[in-house]
Amino acid sequence: MKPLATLALGLVLLAPAAMAQEADILEGRKIAEEYCARCHDIEPGGKFKSYPPSFRAIAVYMDPEIIRMKIMQPDHNTIMPKYAMFINQTRLWNVVEYILSLETLEE
């Protein structure tokens, strides 16, 4: 592989990790309150439930990349909106990091 192509591929693969490190969890919480709380339990220490899953359950059982993918392109048999049409990558990673921050919180 040519050096420039290798560098470009590396940057693409590292972008999600870099975005996650710079995520603003409080901003992610605000976005979740606006777009997600109508259906999901987004609270720290939220009860585990399967449909729609609480953010805490999502944090415990899903990989960050799967969370991101399901926000952007939800399963076809769900009523969850496709946020890919209006959410940018920074806001997306803020939400993902907020979700992940709930994994270790006690009830």
In this structure, is residue 88 part of a structural domain? Answer: yes
The pTM assigned to this predicted structure is 0.72
Measure the CA–CA gap between 68 and 95, rounded to whole angstroms: 9
How many domains, the chain?
1
Domain harbouring 58, CATH code: 1.10.760.10
Residue 58, domain extent: 3-101
Place of tokens 């490190």: 21
Asked whether residue 106 is assigned to any structural domain, the reply reads no
Peptide bond between residue 52 and the one before it cis (omega within 30 degrees of 0) = yes
Mean pLDDT per 10-residue segment, the chain (107 residues): 46 46 85 93 84 92 93 84 84 95 72
- List, as one string, the DSSP characters of 9-68: HHHHHHHHHHHHHT--HHHHHHHHHHHTTTTS--STTPPP-BTTBPHHHHHHHS-HHHHH
